Structure 1
Amino acid sequence: FALGGGLELAMGCDFRIASSKAKFGQPEVNLGLIPGYAATQRLSRLTGMGNALYLLMSAEMIDAAEALRIGLVQKVLEPENFLEEVLKIVRNIVSKGPQAVKKVKKVVRHGMELTFAEGENLEAVEFGTLFGEGRQGKEGMTAFLEKRKPEWNRD
């Protein structure tokens, strides 16, 4: 279960992977309260205003399939091999260019607070730092052209 504060904690993560048996909800209105810890803001940004208002006002619990459908989670896995599958996802991300992963997170998160044009400009600037100035972009492109795996400097 990810209810109340548990869901609020999960919504602070970059993305969410759920077991097919998971349940999600914000039951605070049952107590005469509203969620704290930015849940109203995060839920509406993740799922859209209508979905957020429905979940927050009804206090309805939803299953993993519905959470996936509305964008609250990005992937649903079976509990029998959950940890193994999550570790595959983690290993895949860790195998990517570390500075590129860091900058993707920065540009997407910060871009949500900017106009489209400002976000596009931020993306162009960060692309330039990796492609034009950074060793990582050069290593990635060289490895691609040489048909080998990149050797990332993790400093």
Structure 2
Amino acid sequence: MQRGFFEELLKLRAMDLSCQTVMAVKSQIRALQHQTLLCRPKPADAADVGNFLRQYVPLIVRLMSTRRQVQMAVLTWVVSLNHIFGKDALRDVSTALVAAVLTNPHPVRRAFCMKTLIHSTRFDGSVFLAVLDCKDIGADSTPPPSTPPHP
């Protein structure tokens, strides 16, 4: 495995995103993507990376809900990850990303993110049902608006 990949990922996690410029964050993501493209993993390594990356899902989603330029850089990196490590090895990570994007309360270009994730990753489709069930339960718990009776 490429050591630089993990180093760049740790640098990204260590960044205080509230104090960084868009260009600094985007530059760090590009450095991470460059290190990702240098990786030539074995199948066992790919599965390990998939398990390892699950802890970074909240960070990835937080980055996707920031500025458009950062969002594009993160999505490009996610596409590269799936190309290099394999869609099957990253299935759990992709499923977690899709679920997080669907339930993210922050404004995010959800349709664009979902199109990118659908076309470039492999994820468990039941995540859609789980999100819809949660929204239905939330909708059922709110009482309907009262209407005055008609005379």
Q: Same fold (TM over 0.5)?
A: no
Q: TM-score range by the shorter chain?
A: under 0.3
Q: Normalization by structure 2: what TM-score?
A: 0.27
Q: Normalization by structure 1: what TM-score?
A: 0.27
Comparing both structures, which one devotes a greater share of its residues to strand?
1
Comparing both structures, which one devotes a greater share of its residues to helix?
2
- Greater RCO, 1 or 2 (C-alpha within 8 Å, sep 6+): 2
